[in-house]
Copies of this chain bind each other. A is one copy, B any other.
Amino acid sequence: MSKLTSLINLNEAVERLVKALSKTIQLEVEEAGLVNSVNRVLAVDIYAENNRPEFDIAAVDGYAVRSIDTTGATQYNPVELSIVGVVKPGQKPSETCLEPGTAVRIHTGAPIPYCADAVVMDEDVDVSEKHVVVFKPVPHGSNIIRQGEDFAKGELLVRRGSLIKPSMIAALAALGISKVKVFRKINVSVLAIGDELVEPGEERVDGKIYNSTAYIVLSLLQQDRIFEVKYSGIIPDDAREVEEAIAREISNGADLVITTGGTGISESDVVSHLVKKGDSVVFRGVRMRPGRPTSSFIYRNKLVVNFSGFPVAAWAGYEVLLRRAFIKWLNIRELERHVVNAVLTRRIPNTVGYSSVIRVMIRYENGVYYADPYMLRGSGVISSLLRTNGYVIIPEDIEGYEKNTLIQVYLYD
């Protein structure tokens, strides 16, 4: 790795990618239908145009009453109120005052009649044809959702940059929004570099290996759903051919070109050649393991990111570098991985100066999460992803974590 002379650290690499992304990608806004907007990135802030509810409404099915009428009600001395009407959701609030000694049948979501100040639940009353019998006092305001309590007019409901989630869809629908302004997807083209590669499904002759690295990168990109992903096939270890392929993908509209392979001393190091030719180098190698040979440069005003040809190193390059840069650039917090605190079951060492990305298997036992680190650490060891469900990042200034340390584990999606 002697050729990687100017390694930078992980955070610095993320920062540089964020800058490079904002410099090279212009994300136009487009409209998506409500359901199809799920997992798209919201391009505007969404505010409540009205109070919700628009007026005080019932939170339950029951009877709207004047709470003062129920004062002193007990099991043996209940209060009987005459039922004088019924209100349903969608009606406007009545303008006549509810008389003392009366009640109105009310359905969940229906407006509270004028002069009523509480709703008594169906479960808490006896009902005859014309009367409702109440057995305990109903406090003022019971089972009423106040005007604007769900959300108030002018309130910020969903922030620009949010990845739209099902939990937001009901709010958008309730506001009457049928088309949502979202950022267009980011066009990413993936090239696999390597004379030794054959595609899965093809015949594998001696000396060839199946291309697995480009596929893990493609599937990770696909999974994040903010990208329009294109696979552009295998390119030989030839700097000129790789450069042509990158140029072609950029002309064809790629916002970003990702290559796998061609980065290490094990290979012809075509990337090194290209990085030098690029308009500007973003970085050339990162002090992280796996993923050390990850590089990036700007070529014809577009960003090119080069991952290692080893599947786990490419995974790490995407997961903790490029993906974090996208999250930071667009402020898409919803893409951040879920985190659990877990007790480490074995010591994991680190080389100071490097960040280590350690795959772990989280298991839950008697109320405690344990993290078993995966001990086969070669960056070609695919089972390290198959047999784990999360990862730990050991920062560069730490010599490792001791057994029984409580660590933060990022969970795979």
Binding site for B on A (CB under 8 A): 1-2, 34-35, 38-39, 52-53, 57, 59-61, 88-92, 107-110, 122-123, 145, 149-151, 157-158, 165-179, 196, 199-202, 204, 206-213, 215-216, 218-220, 222-223, 229, 231, 264-266, 310-312, 315, 338-341, 364, 367, 369, 376-383, 385-386, 388, 406, 411-413
- In the complex, the answer to whether B109 meets A310 with C-beta atoms within 8 Å is yes
**Is A215 a contact of B108 with CB atoms below 8 Å?**
no
Q: How far is the CB of A396 from chain B (nearest CB, A)?
A: 16
CA distance A376 to B176 in the complex (A): 22
* B157 close to A386 (CB less than 8 A): yes
For A173, A338, A381, the residue with the greatest tally of chain B CB atoms inside 10 Å of its CB is A173
B212 and A174 contact, CB distance less than 8 A: yes
Question: Cα distance A246–B311 when bound, in Å?
Answer: 48
Question: Which chain B residues border A158 with CB–CB below 8 Å?
Answer: 386
Whether A213 and B170, one on each chain, are in contact in the complex, defined by CB atoms closer than 8 angstroms, is: yes
B216 touches A173 (CB 8 A): yes
Establish whether residues B178 and A199, one from each chain, have CB atoms under 8 Å apart when the complex forms: yes
B207 touches A266 (CB 8 A): no
A207 close to B177 (CB less than 8 A): no
Do the beta carbons of B220 and A173 come within 8 Å of each other? no
Contacts of A175 in B (CB 8 A): 200, 210
25 residue pairs of the A-B complex, CB under 8 angstroms, read: A35-B215, A35-B231, A53-B380, A90-B208, A107-B265, A109-B209, A109-B310, A109-B380, A149-B381, A150-B380, A150-B381, A151-B383, A158-B386, A166-B219, A166-B220, A167-B216, A167-B385, A169-B212, A170-B213, A170-B385, A171-B212, A173-B215, A174-B311, A176-B201, A176-B204
Instruction: Determine chain A's interface SS by DSSP, over half rule.
Output: loop
| In the complex with contacts A364-B339, A376-B150, A264-B170 CB distance below 8 A | no
Also in contact, A386 and B179, with CB within 8 A (given A88-B266, A209-B90, A215-B34): no
In the complex, what's the smallest C-beta–C-beta distance from A39 to chain B, in angstroms? 7
Q: How far is the CA of A198 from the CA of B24 in the complex (A)?
A: 43
Contact between chains at B109 and A173 (CB < 8 Å): no
CB of A362 to closest CB in B, whole Å = 10
* Nearest 6 pairs of A and B residues by beta carbon: A178-B201, A107-B266, A173-B212, A59-B378, A166-B219, A170-B311
Question: What CA separation (Å) do A138 and B222 show in the bound complex?
Answer: 43
Given contact pairs A170-B311, A173-B215, A338 touches B411 in the complex (Cβ within 8 A): yes
| Contacts A168-B386, A173-B210; A378 near B145 (Cβ below 8 A) | yes
Q: For A92, A123, A170, which residue has the most chain B Cβ atoms within 10 angstroms?
A: A170
Name 11 extra pairs, CB < 8 A, besides A89-B266, A90-B208, A166-B412.
A38-B219, A52-B382, A59-B381, A61-B266, A109-B310, A170-B216, A170-B385, A173-B200, A178-B201, A341-B367, A367-B406
For A378, give the chain B residue with the smallest CB separation.
B59
Residues of B within 8 A of A264 (CB): 61, 107-108
- Closest chain-B Cβ to A129's Cβ sits at a distance in Å of 14
Nearest CB of B to A100, in Å: 26
CA distance A57 to B168 in the complex (A): 50
